[in-house]
Amino acid sequence: MYTTTSSTSSDVILDLTNVSSMIVQEEKERQESFNLAFQLKVALAKARHVTTEEEKNNLEAVVTQAMAKDPIKRPPSLSFAIQDHIRFQLFSHFLLTSKTEDDGWNLVLSPLHRVLQFSSSCHQSSQDEDYIMGLMGLTQDLAKHAIHCGTNRDMTSVKKARNVVRDILEYLMQFDFRNGLLRRKYDGVKYSLKTCEQVLYELSVTSTTTVEEETKEERPEKKFKSTPTAIETELNGIKKRMEQFDEVRESLIKRCRDGQKKAKQAIYAIHRGDVPKAKQLLKDSLHIIKQDLIPIVTSEPSLRFGSSLGGVLEEYVEAKLFYTWRISDEKDGVVVLPKKCSTTVLKMEQLDLPISIEEYLGGLADLTGEVGRYAVERGTVRDTVGVQHCLDTNQAILYALQTLERPCSKIGKKMDPLYRSVEKLERILYELSLVNANTGRKNFLPLSNDDGEEQNSNTTSNY
C-alpha cells in the first residue's frame, strides 16, 4: 500500500478528463472485439461439425462483422479468430477438390479474394499476413488429415496431403520471416511435413497398397518452373508485398533511432541548462517525426502501432513536457532559464502530434523521473521551495493517473517508479527541514543570477 501526503497549497493542476473519456471509449471498442472473436470461434466450431445452411449463414454473418473492424486496431484475439477462419476455408476447399483434381496448389490454395471478403478499410499488409498465418495453420490440419487417412490405410490421400504440405513449405522458404508469430508458425510447418512423411513410411512398412498404383514414383516437376497459374501469381504477389513491407519497416526503425536520440539529448541539455541546444534538438526530433516517420506509417498503417514509432513519440512527449515545465520565459526571441518553473503540464490535445493515449501517458509518467532529478539538484543547494514545487508536480501527475476512470495497462509498470519518486521528494523535504533546524538557514545557497552577479542568500527562489 502506497500513501502520499498532498500539498494543499499546490498550484500544479493536471486535468485528464478528456483522456479518461478516450480510454473508456477504447476499452468499450476493445471489449466488443473480444466478444466478436469469441462469437467467431463458436461459429467456426459449429461449422466444423454441423453443415446446415443455418450454421453456414451464421458463420458468414459473424465473419462479415469481424472483417469490418479496423485490422490495425483490432486485438490479437480477433486476428487469431480471423486466421482460423482462413484456415477453415482453405481446408474445406482441399476436402472438396482432393477427390477430383491432381496434386498441386489447386488442391488447397483458392485465390485470396475468394477466401477473404475484406472490407474496404482493410489494409493489404494485414490481409497478407492473415492469409499466410492461415496457410501455415492449414498444414497442421493436413497432418491430422494424413493420420486419419492412414487409419483407413488410404495412402493416396496421405500422399496428396503430404505433397500440398511440401509445396507450402517450399513456397514459404522463399520468405525471410522476422522473429515473431510468423517465424514460430513457420517452424511448425516443418513438423507437419515430418508427420505426413512418417505416416507414409509406417504405411509402407506394413505393405499397404494404394487404390491406384502410381506409375511414377519420382517427384513431379515443380509447377513454378512452368507458366505460373493465377494462384501462383497471387502468391508471388504476396511475397513481393511482404518483402516491400520489411524494407519499409527497416527504414522506419532506422529513422526512429535518430528521432529518439534527439529527444533524449534535448532532455540532457535541459538538465545542463543549455537552453538553445535543447530547443534545437526538440525541433530536430519533431522534424524527423513529421517529415520522415509519419509519412511512412501513413503509407503503411500497420506499422503505426506495435512498432518502434511508439517509443519515439513517447520520448518526444517526455522531452516536450519537461521543456515546457522547466523553461517558460522567452525574451526577444531568445529562450532563457526562468527564475521559477512553470506550473504548466501540457495536455494531450496541446501536443501537435497524432499520438495515442498510451504514448502520452507513458511520456507523462516518465516526466516525473526528470522532475525528480531536477529536485535533487535543487535539494543540493537547499532550495526548499524548488523541491516543494517538484513534489507538487509529481503529486499532481500521480493523482491524475490514479483518478482515471479506466486504468491504462501499458503504463502499469511505470506507476511504481512514480510512487517511489514522490516518496523520495518527500524525504528530501524532510531532510532539508532538519538542515534548516540545525543550521538556522531558511533559504538555499547563493547562486549567480542572469547578469553574473551573486544573489543574496535571502533570495527565496531561483529554480
Which domain CATH number covers 144? Answer: 1.20.58.200
> Residue 360, exposed/middle/buried by CB under 10 A (0-12, 13-18, 19+)?
buried
Q: What is the pLDDT of residues 129-178, one digit of tens each?
A: 888 888 899 899 999 999 999 998 888 889 888 988 888 888 888 888 87
* 3-class DSSP assignment, residue 335: strand
| Run of H or E including 67 | helix 53-68
Residues 305, 251: one domain?
Answer: yes
- The 10s digit of each residue's pLDDT in 375-419 is 999 888 888 888 998 999 999 999 988 888 887 777 888 888 899
Q: Are residues 98 and 198 in the same domain?
A: yes
| Position 454 in a domain | no
Phi, psi of 436 (to 5 degrees): -65, -35
Alpha-carbon separation of residue 393 from 15, 368, 369, 400 (angstroms): 13, 8, 11, 11
pLDDT digits (tens, 9 = 90+) for 273-291: 888 899 999 999 999 999 9
pLDDT exceeds cutoff 90 at 105:
no
Same domain for 392 and 303, yes or no, is no
> How many CA atoms lie less than 13 Å away from 213 in the CB half-sphere?
1
The reported pLDDT for the residue numbered 448 is 40
Q: What share of the chain is helix, strand, coil (3-state, %, to 5)?
A: 70, 0, 30
Last residue of a domain, one of 309, 329, 355: 355
Q: Are residues 368 and 335 in the same domain?
A: no
Q: What is the phi/psi pair of residue 329, to 5°?
A: -105, 145
Say whether both 347 and 365 belong to one domain.
Answer: no
Distance CA 194, CA 165 (A): 10
**226 within a domain of the structure (yes/no):** no
| Residue ranges with strand state E in 63-114 | none
pLDDT recorded at residue 346: 86
Of 447, 438, 327, the closest CA to residue 380 belongs to 447
- Strand spans (E) along 307-416: 329-331, 334-336
Among 426, 418, 362, 363, CA closest to 394 = 418
Q: Are residues 51 and 101 in the same domain?
A: no
Residue 364: inside a domain = yes
What does the pLDDT average to over 438-445? 59
Residue-wise burial string across 312-323, b where 16 or more C-beta atoms lie within 10 A, e elsewhere:
bbbbbbbbbbbb
Q: Say yes or no: 372 and 345 in one domain.
A: no
Q: Are residues 100 and 206 in the same domain?
A: yes
In a domain, 218, yes or no: no
pLDDT, residue 305, reads 77
Report the C-alpha gap between 300 and 303 in whole angstroms: 6
Task: Dig out the grid coordinates for 83 from the structure.
Answer: 486466421
Same domain, 340 and 379: no
What pLDDT, on the 0 to 100 scale, is given for residue 12? 72
Task: Work out the angle at residue 382's Cα, subtended by the Cα atoms of residues 376 and 388, and round it to the nearest 5 degrees.
Answer: 65
Q: Is residue 235 part of a domain?
A: no
Domain enclosing residue 194, as ranges:
92-212
Task: State how beta strands 334-336 and 329-331 pair.
Answer: antiparallel
Same domain assignment for residues 200 and 155: yes
43 and 123 fall within a common domain: no
Domains in the chain: how many in total?
3
**In angstroms, rounded to a whole number, what is the distance separating the alpha carbons of residues 405 and 202?**
61
Using CA atoms, how far residue 289 sits from 131, 247, 292, 296, in Å, is 32, 18, 6, 10
Q: Average pLDDT of the chain?
A: 79
Position 120 scores a pLDDT of 36
Residue 246's identity, in one-letter code, is: D
- The pLDDT value recorded for residue 315 is 94
pLDDT digits (tens, 9 = 90+) for 182-216: 888 888 999 999 999 999 999 888 865 544 444 34
Instruction: Say if 119 falls within a structural domain.
Output: yes
Between 10 and 91, the higher pLDDT residue: 91
Q: Residue 193 domain-assigned? A: yes
pTM, two decimals, is 0.76
Give the CATH number, domain containing residue 319: 1.20.58
424 has pLDDT over 90: yes
pLDDT digits 0-9 by tens, 443-455: 555 444 444 343 4
3-class DSSP state for residue 122?
Answer: coil
How many CB atoms are closer than 10 A to CB 194?
Answer: 12
Mark whether 347 and 259 lie in a shared domain.
Answer: yes
For residue 76, is pLDDT > 90?
Answer: no
Q: Flag whether 237 is in a domain.
A: no
